[in-house]
Structure 1
Amino acid sequence: MSDLSEMGLPNLETETILEPEAILDTAGTLIVVFNRQGEIQRFNRTCETMTGYAESEVRGHRAWDFLLAPEERLAMRGIFDRLVGGQTNTYSRTTWLGKGGEKLVIAWSNTVLANAQGSVEFVISSGIDVTEQHKSQRQLEGQYRQSHLLAEITREVAQASDIKEILQTTVSEVQALLGCDRVLILQALPPDAPLEFFSNLPADAVQCSANAAAEAVTDPAHSLFPQAQYAQYNSEISVSSALLPPALTHHPLLSATYIDHYRQQSISVIDTMSGLGISPAIVDILNDLAVKSELVVPILTQTAVKVDTCHSRQKTLANRHADSFWGLLIAHQCDQSRRWSPLEIDLMQQLASQIGVAINQAELLGHLEELVEARTAELTAINQQLRQEMRERQKSERAMRRSEKQLRLITNALPALVSYIDTYHRYRFNNYAYETWYDIPYQQIKGKQVTDIVSPQVYQQMLPYLEQALAGEKVTYEAEMMLSGGQRLWASISYIPDVQENRVQGLFSLISDISTSKAAEHLKDEFVSVVSHELRTPLTSIHGSLKLLSTGRLGQLGMQGQNLIDIALNNTERLTRLINDVLDLEKMSAGRVNIIPVRCSALELIKNATQAMQSMASEYGITLTVGISSSDSLAEKTYLDPSTPDPSTPQNLEVWADPDQIMQALTNLLSNAIKFSPRGAAVLIKVREMKARSNKVEFLVKDYGRGIPSDKLETIFERFQQVDTSDARERGGTGLGLAICRGIVQQHEGRIWVKSVHGQGSSFYFTLPKPSNAQAL
């Protein structure tokens, strides 16, 4: 017991002893505070989450009145009384009932708080949920019990000499283990013939042997075999078929239709009467017997037959064993439908096999011990295997806990955000850095939605990339994020899909602070911008002078001089383009580019872009191909005359965009495709309406050139990035065109990406929004 004065708590007569609230509500375990009458005074947030009860619903009530399973209430009351009486009982395990009826197995640690006189005033119970461990233990115990039962029945088979005793023991033990309403064994007579075989015989001559029939039921009143009506017939116990229920003497499962299936060890599993493929005759029989679920396993015996064989002109007789259908082992559930588990089915099959062995042994008693010993050894091996599996599973669980602990230590030491997000956008794992960034205890983030942690604006920015990763693609992007205190920072965000058995289960998220590098990049951009502005004026003068000299107005130059002037002129034009591209990027980064979106035709955009690049395509010997569609399958046509549209082409596919900016992006992509395609190849430009996201239109520029290596796919949109710089001067590339395209598309709230196979060509995609109804006005 603890003295309240030593704990620094005020007088127990006030409710302030339940402070501090934050400690109880942020604890990851269940914490309940009871007064000495057993009434709940505090019920922390973990308790609320797991049970579904709010603290306001349970305060003042006793836990054993509604939270505990009925069979545990008396024992729990006794434990509580002993705690209040001063006895030490720190640990217990109980089964709680959630608000929805679910059962939770909780392991408790109990302590008491005493007042200044040493009298117990409060009991504090802290617990952890061990439901899953309890289920695993029960399942393993069930498997062990079934295997143990099978071994016990096998030993009884080996020791018993009366086949009736063997069969009765079997049905009794199986009925007790499965907990079903009825287990019985039926024998079809004569061997390999259905009971309908006797339908043409006089009723008083029809005999159904009962020496191999056995039954075990939960209620004797439900027995199908009237035990008092047995009669002696030819030294064996028999009962007239007229005394058996008609549902058994004419059971369709004993018809000739099923005999061949039984020889192949086929079984009949009926979980519910409404299941598909159940014969109407069987449904009628089961209704007559008031059966809701049935499990039927054939009992096969081996019959020795003589077979003539000829070897080296010598004719001999050899013994062969053939499977013969003997009868059925049947389990009935009468009060409700039941799903028979694979373990139960396997147990019934093994028992049916044992029954067949027992029947053979009754006929060939000399082989009984040998067969049972072999079977016992097999079952012993199964038991040993189960025990080994239990040990290995426990070892694996311990290793998993150690691994998880090590992973937690490693990730908590990282300054970056590390998490696992499932397909419902819920956090399943997160490290300590989340607490630093968002000022939320990191233990409370698990199970929360992403929208509960980040702002709505940041979530809308993340959403397309989350969906892309959950579709199975690795994603890396940069974005500005807002922390809990309003601080903004730039982050590099990577999503890696978790694919198991060809299905995405979730994604791994890594978010790193790149504000410092972004600041350095901004300084670099400012420097480049200043230098570019300072270079533009003298470069314009130099370009004008060279242009004037090249025209010959200031006098004719020699061939060598003219060549030098042409080289200088080409270089100044290339440098001018580079400076203009740098200035464009600087404007985009600074947000000084004015985007004026209007409703414009997607068809007109690709037509105008194709017209603008037609002369360059002709110079390089490239054919431009145009396609458009309102569905996922894009019809293609060779570009001939943009003024004469294809009548099958939809004319009303529109986007909400600045046409000049989109023209620049399209011409940049077409220019790259033309420059890096072999002469005589085709370049394809397409547009389609995205059905999966009806508010987007997707553009595609595809070439069949050299392609892009896989290690360059994520960096190709960065500044001054080129696939191969060895021929950049020859092809006139600056490494800024794709960066400009990305800036334009992102300013239109679109997305741009590339798919490429090295050596086979590249496909550049980007999306633009469609006009909304409000924008249409």
Structure 2
Amino acid sequence: MDTNDRSRTILIVEDSLTYRSKLREYLSQDNRYNYIILETETGTEGLRQYRIAQPDAILLDYVLPDMNGLEFLQALQQQIKKPDLPVVLLTEYEKENLANLAIECGAQQYLSKAAVTTENLRLSLHNAIKQGELLRQVAELKMQNKRHLKVLNQKEEQLRLALASARMGIWDWDLLTGQIHWNREHEELFGFALGGFDGTYETFDRCIHPDDRSSLHEHVVKSIETHTSLCHQFRIIWPDGNAHWIETRGEAYFNDAGQPIRTIGTVVNIDERQQAQQLLQTQLEQQRLVLDMTVRIRQSLDLEEILQTTVDEVQQFLQIERVLVYKFLPDWSGKAIVESVGTEWSGILTTDRVYHPCGESAIAHFQQGCIIANADIYNADLDDLHIQLLESLQIRANLVVPIFKGDKLWGLLIAHHCSAPRSWLTSEIELVKQLASQVSIAIQQAKLFAQAQTELTQRKQAEMTLQLLNTQIEQRQSVEALKDEFIGIVSHELRTPLTSMQGALGLLAMGLMDDEPEQMKQMIEIASNETERLVRLVNNILDLDKLDAESKSLEQEWCDAPSLIQRAIDVMTGSAAAAGVDLVKDCPPSQIWVAPDRIVQTLTNLLGNAIKFSPPNSSVSIEMREIDEPISDRSTRFDSVRPITAPSRQIRFAIKDCGRGIPADKLETIFHRFQQVDSSDSRDKGGTGLGLAICRSIVEQHQGQIWVESDWGKGSTFFFDLPQPIHKNALQQGTV
């Protein structure tokens, strides 16, 4: 790199000595250039230094003692007469609006002091210097353009001659005088006779279509202000009232001061191009409409909705007063079933009468797939009665297209133009025909869907009937299985004590124990115990049957909870004392809504189980508490749980023992009939396997739930929750 190319003079305008030192350090770390650094503390001194030294770039602090950075930039612009300055503005603030103001005032770069590094400082200075060089080159190019302007003017006449042969108009607008010059072709394109244009902007403006004036004016002003080429399409009105499309292109020219002095351009007639574009646009819109209707038909099975959408879309697209769908009846009369009608015109649906859109002779015409397109009913081949009917419906022109269901004529898609005659375009007729075809598909689809729905309904009914039969068979099989299981279990449970009784009594009857009183006494005790066991078994079976019978008529009343618990403890005190088990009660005073005898029975059964399985010198606790939890669904009898009809709270009973515990896989099954943790319990503990089943039945008839939580080897706790009215007077004593 040349030494001069590597040398750069930088002016630092910064009142902070510390930050100037920091900037010098950053620049000294840049090995690409040799920096000559000039420093000032004020904006005034900085402007003076710039005039003297003409540095390559300026590092400018936004906040100076005598001015801010924007004021410095404005003063520098006035001093050197250049809009763009090789300045990098440094500021403590990170605001986008401040950066934009700095750029507008001529600064090339903007840096936050906190973000300055050696690299970004070098890049900012480099960019500012290069942009200044580019601006100087642009200025030189402008000078060259001025020299070429004279040559361009000489070529202009040649261009005019070439454009004349192409029937292209030329305009030349002197912005200083306001005079506009048109060539002959331009006057012809605007409908003027030769020399008929007076050269004023007012006359030109009157030629522009009223809806296009503001748009054309905006484009002309924008092209001048932005120094860009003008290209715009607009409509003009000829003196005879006809509208034509024009495309204009132009350029603006400026003096040395940058002020616009002249615009030159061309105009051409683009009527044919616009017509072609309009035709293409119409075709695209028609295709879009047909495609949209096709998609809606595929997505919807509601025939009425599809028909209504069709008439709405046709009315909007064709900009006509009324569109309707007419359905034939078996006698070839019929009625309009959907319509879309303008607010100023009467509807046909509201008349609730049979409407004949055509004579009877036209039926065969429609059955062959032909259409009717009348531009004016008074010029059509219609009889007087038909004309009178159309007049009563405010119809002046109509378009009628047949709709088929399969190969049979189903109805008509009809468009009415009411305000005036209308010549139906081929594209419009084709659109209505395509939509009528889509309606035919929708009708056929609706028929198939109805058939499918009927078949589906019949199939569902058959499946439901079959499912019901299967359910009944399964229920019957389940009942038979339960019956067999119950008979087997009961037979076994009855046979066991009877066998023991028979054996003991048989020995006594044969006199084998006559000489052995102790053994005789033992045999009598065996017979007595088995008799008690048999009685308990029969009583429990009868109790379960009675509970099932009472499931809908449980007698409940307000009871004192501690008294109920005490009754159960009193019943089991003897058994507890014999087993060496203490009974502990914890129950606050409370009134509860229950069937008292059944709750005592439940507590007695649970206490009895707890005592039987607790070791000597242990305790069994029974407690009751009110809880706020909602009743959880722990019950295995969902059909027996009925919602309580009054506002409710909950009470929870808990019976805890210190026995051997219950395995996890038995926590649910022990509440079933004839189920025990161990089959030997029936012999060793004297149980029947029905006590917990009775407890569950009683609790669930109270609309509650019962469950057990157990740690194997540590003991078990049986819980049951009962819903309660909030207040004692919430329920009257009676049957729930």
TM-score (norm 1): 0.36
Structure having the larger proportion of residues in helix: 2
TM-score (norm 2): 0.38
